[in-house]
Every structure is written in structure tokens, then in C-alpha cells.
A = this chain, B = another copy of it.
């Protein structure tokens, strides 16, 4: 972007076997100075489809985006569905590397097709929300064009800004965490438009691939958690986590929320059906789980999609808002502004504790989003820079963050395994890095008592390794439920990779890929100045017992630090 030029380069030998997170993290580790300013010219934004993206493999449409995070200061990868991963793969693009920074105030749109990339100055879309960007770009090109975009939050380099990806129905998915939208904004790229192509991804052994995909798809479809996700969305978790006493409520001061029924997946499902929305909806072609949904308002008009447990918990229980319509409006606003719903909602909870709003004031949240965050007022910027930013500005010390990133929807006092993940993850607090809820609560892949120390470090480690590998395939993380419990699932996935590239990976190779990714990421963070002292939960988790179990975070630091013994 410094010279406003784009080149197409052959893939270096040592990157050939990598995709998704494995590739983004490798490129960031090789090419980005760990101590650089994340919003300066030395950071790079890496966009990479997974190893299986672009094929017909079920659930293979995740797009990884990586950089040094301006929120955490660590390495970062965030992935999301939408159409872009499959389209980039079919264009033969292994990764898009956006580097440098233009002089001046102009904004740019990147147009990608099979011939390469054109960088065009962008005037029309500057300052526009994501929904306007989708509509305008579709009018300018076609509904079939892929789109990766930032909203006003990314333009303003807010640390919670996300990057949005258009889905097959022109709705949005979010590469949510770590402020990657601010990195894209710092490079003054408003959006990336991808031309459709009839080209297909080459498959070395098509027959073997088809067969493996059949077995893989069957494993996903048969899995009871996949099915629950299809019916209720991820929001099926509200009642489950509330029952477990681990639903962070009122800025992490309790583990159960009185209003949990009002915001539950079951309630949401009934509302969707009654209002003629869609309880099931796929965020990318080939998804057989379909945890997304179309949520309509009372007048049966479209309000939001991809209405996730995390967002609903954060606006709901954490801010004590028990009104799904209000939460849906907030979700819609955050999608339009282009800002992470977890970070922003947890920031609202901290703001409530700081006295900015009453707990439960969902209208107030929407007003702050509309009039402050979207407008970039000083208060909007404080909120838009996340939970730690709000805590700092308003002198609140109960700030649920690790490495400056908001802790998501599972209280680590009541579900210890996820606390290990929050603390040790290479990317700050992030449940998706090693989703121990599967085993701690859902009984998937065995059973580990959520309240005991026993086995939590090993559980989180195994899941973090597996996740790093899965995030490299282009697969949605939700294949993990089947992978952990159905013996046919993982072999079929590996068979697909082998059939795609004509290679012979074993399960051990995949584990080693995961290990290598984690170690690469950890080494980057160490070179950026992170130590085990940063692998800690905030003080209040050690000190304030959480109802109803009345438990504190009590895993000793020494035990935590054994995480990296592998």
C-alpha cells in the first residue's frame, strides 16, 4: 500500500503445505517485526483461505485473517465464514498479503480477479456502514462478487474493529477479535472485492476425495451437537451455561442470569419461527451444520443473522439485558459499525459498572452504539477500543480481559478448563482457541469436571493444538464435536486433505502441524515481550467468589505455566 502496487508471486516452498491460520501465523512470524506498532507501516495483514477451501468439502469455507493485533499486541488470527475463502481459493490465491501504508488521506478498494489485483481509490464508501458497503459494491459489481470490508470502526482504527465477510445471502460474517479491522484501516483499505470464477480447485484424487467427504459429512450430520446447533444456533448455550453456573452476569459478578430464559436459544428459535425468519442458515456454501439463522423483528422484517451465543450473552447476561429484540438491534448496529460484539458488549458491561449506564439498559447500549461509537465521539472511541479501555478511562478495576482482550461467555471460576485457554492462548482471552466447554460441560471427547483442577491444563493444551490444526484447513471449528466423538470424522478429514494434494499426512502430522503453529505464535509473542506473567487472569477472579458455586480461580500459576511443556 506504500507504493499502491500489487504483485502476484509464486508460493514459497515452505508455505506450500500451509493454509488458513497455519499460513497467516507463519507469514506474520516471518515477516512482521514482533515489537512493531500494530497500526504502523511494518505490520502486515494476511488473508488466507484454508487447505480445503474452495473444494466441495463440507464446512470448509472459513477465511483466516492474521496480523499483529493492535488490541493485544500478540500475534492474531481470526477466522469467519462467508464466500470469500472459497472464492479466493478458486482464484488460485493461497494468501493475500497487504503491507505498507499509503501516504495521505485517500482510501482504497482492492479488486481481485484471476489476473491479479487492482488498487482503486475509494471515495463513495468512505465513512459508510457495512450494510451500505454491501449494497453499493453489489450495485457496482454483482451479488456474486465476494466482499471483505471494514466499517467506520475500522476506518477510525478502533481497537475492537473487526473485518466483515459477505455470506451467500449478502449478510455479514465477522473476523471478530483482536482489532484486525483497525489494521486494515491503518492500511487505508476500505474493502476487497473478489470476482467470481468458474475455475475449480484442483483435486489430486477426486474419487478418494468424494468418498472421504461423504464419510466426513455423515459424521457431522449425525452428531447430536451439530443438530442442536442447527436447531437453536450457538445460542443453545445460554441455558446450558447458566445451568452450569458459568454464565458471566452483571460484569462477571455472578454465574447465573435471572433473565436467561428470555434470551435463550429456545426462546429465540420460537421467535424466529413465529416471525417467519430462518432458524437454520448457512454462512457459507457446503455447511451442513447451519448454526446461523435469520432473525426478524416484530414486523417480520430482517434484523440480523449470525446471531451468536457470545453476542447474546454479552449484551444479555453480562449487561443484564433480557430483551432479545434489543440485543438483536445492538447486534445489527455492531455489524454495521464493524466492531467485535464480544469486546464491545463486555466493554458496555464495564461501562455500566463505571456508572455510564444502568445495568439492563439495552436502549442505552443501542444509543451509545448509534450516537457515540458509530460517530467516533470521544466516548465512542473509549468504548470502541474495548473493555480495558473503558476500565482505564473510568477507573473500573473489575475488567475481564487477558492480554487486553475481553473474556468471552464462560466464567473461568466455574469452568476451569476455559480459564487455562484464556490465560495461555497466544491471542489473549478467546474461547475458540481451545474450547474446553466441549469436555467440561458438553461431555464431548470425554469428561473433565469443570470445577476441579484435574486435567484442565492437558485438556486445554490438546484442544489448542487441535484447534490450530483445524483453523488451518478452512474448516469451521464446529466440526470438532464430531471429530472428538466420532471415530470416522478425523480420518475422513485427513483423507480429504491427502486426496486434495496427493500427499500422505497422518494424524500425527496433523497434531504436529498444530504444535508447530502454537510454537510459532508463542515465539512471536515472546519476541514481542510477552512472558508467562502475561498468562494470567485478572486479579478479581482470584479474589471474588462466583455464585452459585462460590468458587474463585484457584489454579496455581505454576500449574498454569506447565501448559507450555510440550
Contacts and interface: CB of A to CB of B under 8 A. Distances in A.
A533 B539 contact: no
A300 interface: no
B39 A395 contact: yes
Contacts of A530: 529
Contacts of A540: 40
A156 B393 CA distance: 9
A51 interface: no
A381 B397 contact: no
A379 B378 CA distance: 5
A534 interface: yes
Interface residues of A, number: 37
A370 to B, nearest CB: 16
A39 B533 contact: no
A312 B448 CA distance: 62
A143 interface: no
B389 A392 contact: yes
B529 A42 contact: no
B186 A395 contact: yes
Contacts of A392: 159, 385, 389
A185 B394 CA distance: 13
A382 interface: yes
A378 B397 contact: no
Contact of A37 (B34, B37, B534, B539): B539
Given A379-B378, A381-B382, A382-B381, A35 B533 contact: yes
A420 interface: no
A528 interface: yes
Contact of A539 (B36, B377, B394, B534): B36
Interface string A233-253: 000000000000000000000
A90 interface: no
Interface in A7-48: 34-37, 39-40, 42
A100 interface: no
Contacts of A534: 529
Interface in A511-561: 527-531, 533-534, 536, 538-540
Contact of A531 (B381, B394, B529): B529
Contact of A378 (B35, B156, B378, B536): B378
A186 B385 CA distance: 23
A29 to B, nearest CB: 15
A457 to B, nearest CB: 19
A200 to B, nearest CB: 41
A37 B538 contact: yes
A392 B385 CA distance: 8
Contacts of A538: 37
Which of A389, A395, A397, A536 has the largest number of chain B CB atoms within 10 A? Answer: A395
Interface in A33-85: 34-37, 39-40, 42
A396 B540 CA distance: 32
A473 to B, nearest CB: 33
Contacts of A385: 392-393
A472 to B, nearest CB: 28
Contacts of A40: 397, 539-540
A182 interface: yes
A157 interface: yes
Interface of A: 34-37, 39-40, 42, 156-159, 182, 185-186, 377-379, 381-382, 385, 389, 392-395, 397, 527-531, 533-534, 536, 538-540
The 5 A-B residue pairs with the shortest CB-CB distance in the complex, in nearest-first order: A529-B533, A157-B395, A378-B379, A378-B378, A381-B393
Given A185-B395, A381-B393, 8 more contacts: A39-B397, A159-B392, A186-B397, A378-B378, A381-B382, A385-B393, A389-B393, A529-B531
20 contacts: A36-B539, A37-B397, A37-B538, A37-B539, A40-B397, A40-B540, A156-B395, A159-B392, A186-B397, A378-B379, A378-B382, A381-B382, A385-B392, A389-B393, A527-B533, A528-B533, A529-B530, A529-B533, A529-B534, A531-B531
